[in-house]
Structure 1
């Protein structure tokens, strides 16, 4: 029975993990805003979540030799591969971080993270109500 409850939250867990990772990526861009030749990176959240859902239930390949090739389509440890973001206005030192874009992405991602947490909290509350019989 616990595995059924666990499966109920798999999607939200994947979404929260990806949102947290995206927040790290955006924060890294902000931290390197003054680094010469730094290229801003990001990833497509929708595609990453779809990949995480498609990979559900599939077994990972066993790596028995250091010369084995890594799988394609994802970064290390199941994290999505980041891609360079197109520069809105290139700076003289080659840095492509646009603080307005980064602030907007950071705020949007934080809002989406909080929305997912609220949805998850409501879902847990409704399951708790169902388990306890609605307080009757």
Structure 2
């Protein structure tokens, strides 16, 4: 699966640090992201947990806009992981987790926030071989 409307990785993410992340909010245009700079696993998980998923989903559905997303890149390997919220409303939603390299992303659907964390942990452990196998279609 290819993610369309995105620019080159080095323009979407900070090149500083081992890992960097960005967000795409419901009011953004396709391909528009806000780079948040370098991060650690702890920072990224904290940002994921405090992200207003239900509010962003509601706004995206009203606006018929982008799926709100938080993404991370490993600057050395250029592997990326993005987590997008999708659904009908705040009681009926889940997450698409995208993994791969810019333009060549595979995805997995999970149904709650807790199910996302093991994938994030593998990413920050640089366990790309396991993620490659789990995300094969």
Q: TM-score, normalised by structure 1?
A: 0.29
- Higher strand residue share: 2
TM-score (norm 2): 0.29
